[in-house]
Amino acid sequence: MNAIDPRPLYSRATEQAAALIRTVRPEQLTGPTPCTEFDVRTLLSHIVGGTRRIAVVGEGGDGLAVRPFADEVEDDTWAAAYDEVRSRVLKAWASDARMDAPVSVPWGEVPGRAALSGYTMELVTHTWDLSEALGHPLELAPDLAEFALGTARRVLPDPLRDADTPFADATPAPEGADAYEELAAWLGRRPLIAA
């Protein structure tokens, strides 16, 4: 798994997230999400801020110094703000050398490919969170969820999580769950909308 180049998957994940963010209507910003501590606006702030953080990491900067929220974005500019940071992150990670270079991320110092795989998992998961909050306006790519689920199971092999882990204990996936539902369950999320 370490030999996988996560950049194409991350790029597609950003395209998927961008398309979904463009569907957000102003009246949805205060709605709940599967991230119980986030409403839609806070989730968007986290997606933009987290993307900015991994851009800084890819540029060789200190991502830990970047707050993982973007509080300065106006409500009518979330799509533009995300497009700007996703362009920046794709450029920052374009070099093949970045894949094996050690980088510092919140979970430690890891090779670039491991960092970007982790951020792919996070972005795909938050895209599901946003999709769930918005009532599933777009179809999400299953292969992105399969990659994210594989990453999640590798980096969080124990279904029980401690207080330092930014994900809740795993929950059972519903019978017949798709890859997104399995990913959400593994990361302790519950759907907002009954299937």
- Is residue 192 situated within a structural domain? no
Q: What are φ and ψ of residue 131, in 5° steps?
A: -60, -45
- Is residue 1 situated within a structural domain? no
Sequence-separated (6 or more) residues with CB below 8 Å from residue 74: none
Domain, as residue range, for 98: 7-186
Q: Considering its fold, how many domains does the chain have in total?
A: 1
- Is residue 96 situated within a structural domain? yes
pTM: 0.94
CATH number of the CATH domain containing 158: 1.20.120.450
- Is residue 54 situated within a structural domain? yes
Sign of CA dihedral 137, 130, 70, 52: negative
Tens digits of residue pLDDT in 27-69: 999 999 999 899 999 999 999 999 999 999 999 999 889 999 9
- Is residue 191 situated within a structural domain? no
- Is residue 2 situated within a structural domain? no
Tens digits of residue pLDDT in 90-141: 999 999 999 999 999 988 899 999 999 999 999 999 999 999 999 999 999 9
